[in-house]
């Protein structure tokens, strides 16, 4: 659980009292491989910190579904738009490996917002970070080649990427599995 505190303390001053209150709301839950955390139509009730594991975000499609994002260890995962607006999700979130989460419910988060000073700062920070990530992603999709995107993903997440089936990575990068197989061959 110190992981989470460390994570926050990169961005905030967090005193023991605030941390006590915050962490008292966190519930640890473990999920097996291929477990669906969120389905289209469901309303996301959790903001979760990934202690261990990998999850993917996807939208089902006829042939191959569209994997548009991953989340790794030491990061937050949530159907964030559904969570924020408390409206039905439009996509799936699924574990790819055994996954250990620390979960915070929507109601508990609202309470944290109201009862602590740091709450709102944390919430705003989370939104900002997500937004920044999406801008990065937009620029990557517009200006980089699939090969460059693969290399970047690879150099950022060397170990973790090994556990992700190639076809999901291909989709995330924006090419077919065949194309990624060839990219892989020519850069190795």
x-marked contacts with a second copy along 132-171 as a string, rule CB under 8 A = x-xx-xxx-xxx---------------------------x
- Applying CB under 7 A, the residues found at the interface with DNA are 33, 145-147, 165-167, 174-185
Strand partners, 55: 71, 95
6 binds a second copy (CB under 8 A): no
Based on CB atoms, which residue is closest to a second copy, 31 or 55?
A: 55
Binders in 53-112 for a second copy, by CB under 8 A = 59, 61, 66, 68-69, 80-81, 84-85
Nearer to DNA, 117 or 162 (CB): 162
Signed CA dihedral, 149, 151, 155, 157: sign only: positive
Instruction: Tell me how far, at minimum, the Cβ of 11 lies from a second copy, in Å.
Output: 11
Residue 130 touches a second copy, criterion: CB under 8 A: yes
The DSSP line for the chain is -HHHHHHHHTT----HHHHHHHHHT-EEEEE-TT-EEE-TTPPP-EEEEEEE--EEEEE--SSS-EEEEEE-TTSEE--HHHHHHT---SSEEEESS-EEEEEEEHHHHHHHHHH-SHHHHHHHHHHHHHHHHHHHHHHHHHHS-HHHHHHHHHHHSHHHHTTS-HHHHHHHHTS-HHHHHHHHHHH-
- Comparison of 174 and 177: residue with beta carbon closer to a second copy: 174
Q: Which is nearer to a second copy, 24 or 90 (CB)?
A: 90
Q: Is 131 in the site for a second copy (CB under 8 A)?
A: yes
- Residue number with CB closer to a second copy (24 or 148): 148
Nearest distance from C-beta of residue 82 to DNA, angstroms:
26
């Amino acid at each position: 659980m110190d992981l989470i505190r460390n994570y926050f303390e990169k961005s905030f001053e967090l005193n023991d009292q605030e941390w006590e209150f915050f962490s008292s709301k966190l519930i640890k839950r473990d999920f097996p491989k291929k477990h669906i955390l969120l389905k289209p139509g469901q309303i996301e009730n959790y903001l979760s910190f990934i202690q261990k594991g990998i999850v993917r975000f996807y939208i089902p499609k006829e042939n191959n579904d569209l994997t548009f994002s991953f989340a790794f260890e030491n990061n937050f995962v949530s159907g964030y738009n559904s969570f924020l607006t408390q409206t039905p999700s439009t996509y799936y979130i699924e574990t790819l490996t055994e996954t250990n989460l620390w979960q915070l419910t929507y109601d508990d988060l609202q309470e944290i917002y109201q009862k602590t000073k740091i709450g709102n700062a944390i919430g705003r920070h989370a939104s900002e970070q997500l937004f920044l990530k999406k801008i990065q992603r937009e620029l990557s999709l517009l200006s980089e080649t699939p090969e460059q995107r693969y290399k970047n993903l690879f150099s950022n997440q060397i170990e973790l990427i090994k556990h992700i089936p190639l076809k999901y990575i291909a989709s995330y990068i924006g090419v077919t599995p065949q194309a990624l197989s060839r990219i892989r061959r020519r850069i190795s």
